[in-house]
Amino acid sequence: MRPKSNCLVEAKEEQYKFIGTHILGDLYGISNEKLENIDFLEKVVTDGIMKANASCHGIQVKKFNTGGITLIALLAESHVSVHTYPEYNSTFIDAFTCGEHCNPQLIIDTIVEGLKPQKVIINQVRRGKNKRIRYIKSD
């Protein structure tokens, strides 16, 4: 596993409400050039984190023999993950943030925009108080 720390920020220690938004995406029809490129994936994830006003405390990356990549970004608010499957031209992504001061949908939108998949399925889960699951999008 290759440790990364290019997105480290100084974040205020805040207490977040016991609520969160978890957005999950299944993306299909993506070029292997993007799915196997660690630097590209780190950039789109980091760009999304910045757009969402989240605080990144590091990125860990593991590249598998198949060419697939698992990327995890640790946020003060929770996490972002990307799991690529080049052999299927697909990836699973998710972004979970606690509290209400940042928007995980912006992280997901930035990743989707960068990967340019042919098909996108997105689900949103509200966690904590006022829980709900919502099917957002399928192209």
Residue among 57, 79, 83, 101 flagged as catalytic: 83
To 5 degrees, how large is the angle CA 76–CA 45–CA 106? 80
SS (H, E, C) 71-98: EEEEECCEEEEEEEEHHHCEEEEEEEEE
User: Quick check: is 83 catalytic?
Assistant: yes
Residue among 56, 78, 90, 102 flagged as catalytic: 78
Alpha helix (H) residue ranges in 6-130: 32-35, 38-51, 104-115
Tell me, what DSSP letter sits at residue 104? H
Q: How far apart are CA 19 and CA 11, in angstroms?
A: 19
Contact 45, 59 (CB under 8 A): yes
Residue among 7, 56, 98, 102 flagged as catalytic: 98
Q: What residues are paired with 31 via a beta bridge?
A: none
User: Quick check: is 98 catalytic?
Assistant: yes
User: Quick check: is 78 catalytic?
Assistant: yes
Residues annotated as catalytic are: 78, 83, 98
